[in-house]
Every structure is written in structure tokens, then in C-alpha cells.
Structure 1
Amino acid sequence: MREAAVKPDRPGQLRLLVVFDALLREGSVAKAAAGLGLQSPAVSRMLAQLRDMYGDPLFTRTARGLIPTPFAEGLRLRLRALAAETEQLVAASSGEPAAAGPAAGDGWAHRPLISAPPLSVRPSVLLQGQPTPDDFARKLAGIGHNAEPQKRLAKYIATSGSGAGRCRPLALEEAEDALGIILAGEADPVQVGALLATMQYRGVTAAEMAGSIKALRRHVGAYDVRDGLADLDWPAYVSPKLKSPPWFLHAARLVAMAGYRVLLHGHYGQGPDAGKLELAAETAGIPVCASLGEARAALAAGAIAYLPIGGASTQIQRLFGLYSLLEMRLPLNAAVPLLNPLGAAASLLGVSMPSRRDLLRDAAVLLGVRDLSILGGNRDFAEFTPFRATTLFRLVGGEPADTRIAARRSVSAAPPPTAYTSREYWQAVWTGAARDDVAEAIVVDTAAAALLTMPACPLDTFEAARKQAAALWRGRADLPRAGKPVLRA
């Protein structure tokens, strides 16, 4: 006779969810236990049960208390709504308790002459008719994943930016859905600015960044690393305020001439110099591609290509145009450098802010990126600053590993000849018609950082990579533009 199926303990599970809500609110086992009238060991046991039930740690213990995981954060509002409804259902429905009869004390009971009226206060917490946090939580929990796009996006905006006590960061899946709605053109324009500006003001989390990157990659139809189409992804999102020549393009040329497939993708603002990177690439003989398909063909034929972001997605390019309306960078600007359209095995990024470097590396870990280097000093494009000490913030085989590089001995920078324009001088340094020790050091060290980043490259120290890059620079006139790898074992 077949045994009867074990029925789930619904009352017990409901109790676990109430405890889960208390832990999210209090951030402490002891405080949650006190609020529920339980002992701390009992709450600890129920937390263990919750972890088993969801297959997630739910909380990380820190000096500041219990920090929820992204999965737990994603359940916060739904649990608050459930707990609030449960409390209302079990609360006594009667009004004021019945008056007590005559006291049987020592005979001194007597009504005072003047009874104190209720304390006069201003309603500083809630206006009349204003929804409570519990009402707010129930309303958001009622908007499911099948709701229409604008309704879902409204939920994410309210979740992320409704003020103290009512908001939380978006989970990875929520951030992916939110940006996906915007990229698909299904959002109201007001919603676009509201969500991105709110996230930027509050500060983006690694989970939000990773979700945004997933949405970007899905939107452009990015390839997977397993497709083996590129060796190095090199984002170049250059501020139009930067007027120096793009020396990093010469470094990318060296890496490609060594036989590695390099995809550059980027943007140069909306001003009169918006086509600067396209012009520089054309001058250097780097194919400028109008689509991912063209970039893939260019890498197969010549080992290097430049893909303007508009070639990958005109919608992303339009979103970049919000800068002129808001005069502030948005989370999209920080996420796009990890787009990796052709699924390169490694990426070389430039990030100036220390906090943003950690954020991008943490997001890369969440996305399963294995090999990555982040250079400080420039915003959103990788170009070495050789005359000051530099740290390469890396992922090597998926594990964080930093490489400290000492400053080179300073050399005097000679002013470029007046007969050259900036672009002509930039090209003359490459051809050897002009000599510039500072520019040469920038190019060589940038190429060294790129070589060190790629798992396909056999070099394992920066000094070895610098020597190889210097040899490539000296022999650049004799190297093929692409072809058989020079450095591969």
C-alpha cells in the first residue's frame, strides 16, 4: 500500500514567514525575538528552517547586524504585507474594554474633579488618509510579474525611491526587468528619468548593476563567452570634455597585431566632436562597425574593430542623451562598460572613482565574469597613467586579485610641433614621424595591462607584459595588422 503524501505544515510555515518579516525589520535575532515574545534560540532555529525552505542564506551576519541577501530583500514588501494582514486578522475586533466595577480596595477610590484631556499633538507622522507603510507594502505586493510593463516599472520606482522606511534596493531580477522595460521602449518618459535618477541619488548596488548589465546584453543580443568570438573587450566611453588624443587606440592596435581579437565599443557624447572615436579608428585603419554582425565579421577578418554604441543599440545611445537634460551621469553610464557585446574572454575597463571600481567588480562576480582588469585614472575608458603608482583591480579566474604597479621615472613632456593638429600629431607618433616619450609610455603600459588581463596570454607579471608591449611598439612597422598570434604558446 502506497504511503500517503506528507502534507505541508501550513500553520508552521505561516509562523516562519512572520518571523522572516520580523528579522527583516529588526536586523537582529534578539530584537526580532523580543518583538514576537519568543526566545532568541527559537528564532535562530526558525531562521535555519527558513534558509532550508528557500535554499538561500537570507542574511549575512555583520558588525551592523543581519544584512539581507538580494533574494531576501526581494521578499521584504510582500512579507510586510502578509504580516500586517495577519496582525489585523487576529487582533481583537471590539472597541473600548468594558468599564470596571467598584473597586474593592481601601475605600479611597474617587473620580477626580478635572480629568486630563488627551494630549494635544500635531499629526507629524501621517496626514489624514495617508497610506501606512503596511498599506504601501500590500499595494506593491499586489503588482505581479505578469502586470503590464508600465505598472511593473511604477512598482520598481516606488520600491526604490519612496523615501525612508518605504524603499529598498532592487533585486538583480527586478533591476533587469526595469531596465529591460526602458530599453524596449515600453516606459513613460517620466518613468525613465524617475527610476534612473532615483537609483543614482540613492547609490546603485552590485545586484542592481548586474541586473542592468544583463538587461543591456539581452537587449543588444550579446554573444556568450563560449562562442569564442573575441579575446578582449575594450569599452571606451570618453567624456567630450577630454581633449587629449586617444592614445589607448594605439595600445589596442598593438594587442591586435600580436594576434589577439580586440573589440572596442564606445561613445563620445553628443557635441560637435561626437564622431571623434570613429575618425580616430578610421585614421588608424580600425574598422568602424554599424552592427554586431559587422563587428563579428571584422574581428574574424582583421582582429580588431570599433563598435559605436549606436551600432549596438540606438535606444542606449538615446538614453545617453539624457545627460544634457539632467546634467548628471546615470546608472546606465556605469553599466555599459560591462556590455561585452561579442562575449570576449576578458575585459579591460577604466573607472576613476574607487567606489565605482568595487561596484563594477562585485557586479562582474555576480555575472560570472572570470577575467577582468580595471584601471583607475580615467572615467569609462582604459588608458594607463605610467608616471604615478597604479593599482590594477583584477579578476583572475573569477577571484579578486590586485596588482600594484610602481610609477615610471618621470620624463619631460615636449609640446607637440605647431605644424601638427592634435590628430595629425597622434598619428605621427604612431608612424614615427614624431617622437614623444610620454605618449610612448602611455601606449606601452596600456598595452601591457591588456596583455596581462587575457587568460590566453602566457605572460604572468606586469613587467613581462611591459617588455613584450615595448617590443611590439618598436616593431610595429613590421607586424601584420592581424593574423597568426605572436604571443600564444
Structure 2
Amino acid sequence: MAAPPGTATGRPEARRPIEATHPASSYLGKLRLLVALDCLLVEGSVTRAAQRLALSPAAVSRLLGQARELYGDPLLKRSGRRLVPTPRAESLRNRLRALAAETERVMDRNVPGTDRAEPDAAVLESWRREPIVQAPPLAMRPAFLLDDEPGPEALAQQLSGIADDGDPRRRLAKYIAVVGRKSGNSRPLTLTESRDAFTTILQGGADPMQVGALLRLISYRGETAAELAGLVQAARDSFHAGSAGVPDADLDWPAYPSPRSLRTPWFVLSAMLVVDAGHRVVMHGSHAGGRLERAVETIGIPVALSVAQARVTLGERNIVYMPLAGFGARLQGLMSLYPLFESRSSVNSAVHLLNPLAARTILLGVSQPAYRELHRDTALLLGHDDLSIVASSRDVAECNPFRAMTMHRLVEGRPVDLGTPAQPEPLSQGIGGLTSLEYWMAVWSGAARDARATEIIILSAALALMTIRKAANEELTAYRRLAAALWDRRHRSKPAHRPR
């Protein structure tokens, strides 16, 4: 029997993937790439784009690779939990959306064959009038948010027309629309837009409903490095941070633990060792149930309530603690919205990178893997070349030697990862009838010996010293020894550093 046409053996010809039959160089292949790129820009995820296109994630990844080759640009980069478009991809967004929208209209059988006539301008004008009753601020409805959803090109024109609007609430409404439009028309804020939006909020020019809307929309979608960097810059502008008059701060050590945290603040003792090594350390944080502030006061670290006061204090004592409520009251207010949402916002991430005295290096504590990369990318956008991110604790840089962990570093602008194996965990001696605070002080004074706490303190101090001195990863053992030596001779500290 003769073989069926199109085959050599009688077996059906294997079906080739469409991207093989229509490569990127062909007309149909290019159209396919544009559709895939539009979907990737809308979804911000290869997996979700694949579901929407009814393709496998591997196929969508191949299409993205072809689009990158076609345009000679990465097009989409990972930041936090999503893919963020490059400036080149952002410039294509509205044109791709318009192409997709026009395709849908062409394929829609219900579209009439003739276009609807545009209404006469005089007829439109006759219906316009001022409202009988002005809506209160919380019910504000900006004029450009129309009931009839505009197309992508009209939307772009509407939003660009408000770029220099003098009304801060109207300008902030523009940014909420940018982030919160329906799928396909929304996008992340640029660094400049984020800075302007949060400047408006921190200057008190925003409606309370706008504040909540913007924070929740950004958090729901996932912050980008550009959005966090803009927020940090707006915050720094609000409390006039900068390098002028700063007496060469060596390390910024933020600490923003959850109010629900019961963790003993051993890292404060690590900071004391770093100061004993001759370095200047700036600590800042929030009340967080009072544990951090109680520890600072008990150990004798001076407290400054403004940037100016902190500069003077750092020059005199080599260490200072700055409560966020003192130098950034509005930021503290935004963080205090947690009970209203029962979830964290972008502000909780941004405060770690405030660096209010422009220290040369930064030591962060970030537990979630995606956010470690996000903080490192944000630091680069802010011009920070030297920092370390501890992965074993949340919201404060305190190492846990008894878990294998990866520390994410920037050393002179180069991303470097440092992995450490888990150590055997010694048994804690117990507090023996002392309060937790009394036991903490007893460990510092030597009245109590706790091998487990000592290892935490020494490793945290070692990483801080490595960060300050921009040391290579292989020098960790040497810095452990240095931190251990500082711990052994801590009682010979200068009087200014002794506990009260």
C-alpha cells in the first residue's frame, strides 16, 4: 500500500512546534513574538503569560529569548516577585497594547461594520456643569477617570497630561491609575514617579484613601527596585539626609523587628564590638514592642531624635541610635497602618535602606529570598556599592550560625554571595531566675556564660566588620577570630561604651 502523501514511511508526520515553522525572521513569527511580549508585559510572569497564551512556560521563555535577540535588549528583568520591563520594553507597551486591542476588535463578530459618528463638540459642552455638591476628599473622583474605559493610546495621553499638575491629590491619582488599571494597562512606577508620589504623601498632600490605595496596589503586585528606590529618595528628602557634616559613618545597621517578635537583641552587643574595633555605627529602627529601645538605653547607646543631633552624637560617641518616629515621623505613621491592613507595605521594606547619615556601608536583615535580591538591586539604584544582607533573620541583621545560610553582598558594586554551613548548636544555659533583659546584660557583663548567644554575637560582628572593610568571602574565618578577640576583651572598652 502506498504511503500517505507528505510522509515517507506511512506514519503520520510529526507535528513541529509553531515557533519552528514560523521563526522570528518570518512575518508570522514576528507577530507571534509581539503577542507574546505584550502578554509578558501584562502579566509580569512567564508562568502566567504561558497560561494566558495556552503554551508551556518553556515555549514562552523561548519566545522571550527570540524577542530579546530581535530587539537587542533584555526587555524584562527579574525584580522581587515579578519581571520588570526595561526602558526599551516600556516604550513598546502602549503600541503593543493598541495592537492587541485592535486585534480583538477585528476578531469580534459583534463590532458593527461602520464606525459610530463622533458627537458634536457643542453637544458635549451643553451637558457639562459644576456638580451641585462637591464630593468630600475621601470620595474624590478625579476628572480623568472616565466611566467609559479609554483605549491604550487615549489612556497614555490622559496620564501624560497630568504630569505637571499643581494639585498634589490629582497628581497622586495619576500614579494610582498607572499602578491599578486593569490587566494590560497597568505598570510599575518608575523611580522618578515613585519619588514624586511618596514625596506628595510625606508632605501631607495626599488624601488618606489615596495613601492606602497606592500602598496596597504596589504590595499586591510586588514592589520593584525602582519603586523602592523612589520611596527611599522621597523619605531622605523629607528629613534632609545627606553627607554634609557627617563624621564618616562606617556602617548603617537598621533594625525594624516586628512588635510581635520575642527575639533577644543580641545584635546590639555585636554592634558594640564593632565600635570597640574603632568604627562608627549608626542604628535606626522603630519601637517594635520596646525591646530594641530598652536594650539601647540599658547598654548606654546614645539616642538622637533628629539627623542633626545624630551627626553631633556620632562624632562624640562613635555610635548612635535613631528612632524612626524622631527623624521620620510620617514614615512611622505609614508603618503604623499595619493593623488596618494586617499586612506589610512597601514602607516596611524601604526603611531598611534609609541610611540617614549616609554611612559608607550597610548591613541588612532580610528573610525572604526574592526580597534579598530586591534590596540589593534597590541599593545599586541608590548608589550604594557596599552592603551585606543576612538571610537568617527578619528585619534585623543578626546571624544564626546554627543554620546553613547565604549572605548576599555588594563589594564595590559587585554582587557576591557568601554561603556558610550550619554549626552544631550548643545548649543554652537558661536564665536562672533572671528576666530576659537581666540575662542579656549578664551575658554582656560576663556574669552569665551562654555559648549559643556568644556564637550569634561573634558571627554577626564578624560579618559587620567584613562589610565595613570590604573583605573577600574567604576572609570570614579571620574576621570570626577578630570578633572573638573583641568579645574576650570587651570589658576593657572605653567608659563611654560601658553599660549604665
From the superposition, tell whether residues 429 and 288 of structure 1 become closer, same or farther in structure 2 (CA, over 3 Å).
same
Whether the 8 Å contact between 1:452 and 1:460 is mirrored in structure 2 is no
Deviation, structure 1 residue 460? 6.3
User: Larger Cα Rg: Structure 1 or Structure 2?
Assistant: 1
Residue aligning to 1:189: 208
Matched, 1:436 2:450: yes
Matched, 1:138 2:154: no
Q: 2:184 aligns with which of 154, 165, 173?
A: 165
Residue aligning to 2:258: 239
Mapped partners of 1:252, 1:366: distance in 2: 27
Mapped partners of 1:162, 1:457: distance in 2: 46
Mapped partners of 1:24, 1:201: distance in 2: 27
Deviations 1:104-129 (A, max 9, x none): xxxxxxxxxxxxxxxxxxxxxxx994
* Higher mean C-alpha deviation, range 66-75 or range 366-375: 66-75
From the superposition, tell whether residues 132 and 60 of structure 1 become closer, same or farther in structure 2 (CA, over 3 Å).
closer
Deviation, structure 1 residue 222? 1.2
* Higher mean C-alpha deviation, range 128-137 or range 145-154: 128-137
Q: 2:397 aligns with which of 382, 386, 393?
A: 382
Write out aligned runs for 1:17-416 (5 A): 27=37, 59=75, 68-70=85-87, 73=90, 76=93, 95=114, 129-224=148-243, 229-269=248-288, 273=289, 275-416=290-431
Structure 2, unpaired ranges of 5+:
1-31, 39-66, 103-112, 116-145
From the superposition, tell whether residues 250 and 467 of structure 1 become closer, same or farther in structure 2 (CA, over 3 Å).
same
The residue matched to 1:342 in structure 2 has which SS? coil
Deviations 1:450-485 (A, max 9, x none): 0011137799611111100000000000132579xx
Identity %: 47
The residue matched to 2:492 in structure 1 has which SS? coil
Deviation, structure 1 residue 136? 2.8
The residue matched to 1:27 in structure 2 has which SS? helix
Mapped partners of 2:364, 2:177: distance in 1: 33
Whether the 8 Å contact between 1:27 and 1:67 is mirrored in structure 2 is no
Residue aligning to 1:468: 482
The residue matched to 1:477 in structure 2 has which SS? helix
Deviations 1:335-394 (A, max 9, x none): 110000000010000001001101000111122211000001222111110111121110
Deviations 1:127-151 (A, max 9, x none): 9944334433332222123442111
Mapped partners of 2:368, 2:295: distance in 1: 27
From the superposition, tell whether residues 175 and 411 of structure 1 become closer, same or farther in structure 2 (CA, over 3 Å).
same
What TM-score comes out, normalization by structure 2 length? Answer: 0.72
Mapped partners of 2:380, 2:182: distance in 1: 30
Whether the 8 Å contact between 2:301 and 2:321 is mirrored in structure 1 is yes
Structure 1, unpaired ranges of 5+:
1-21, 29-43, 52-56, 86-93, 97-126, 484-489
The residue matched to 1:307 in structure 2 has which SS? strand
Query: Aligned Cα RMSD in Å?
Result: 3.5
Deviations 1:38-68 (A, max 9, x none): xxxxxx9xx98xx9xxxxx694699xxx973
From the superposition, tell whether residues 61 and 476 of structure 1 become closer, same or farther in structure 2 (CA, over 3 Å).
closer
Q: Which amino acid aligns with 1:267?
A: S
The residue matched to 1:264 in structure 2 has which SS? strand
Mapped partners of 2:296, 2:471: distance in 1: 25
Mapped partners of 1:81, 1:433: distance in 2: 72
Q: Which amino acid aligns with 1:349?
A: L
Mapped partners of 1:409, 1:161: distance in 2: 49
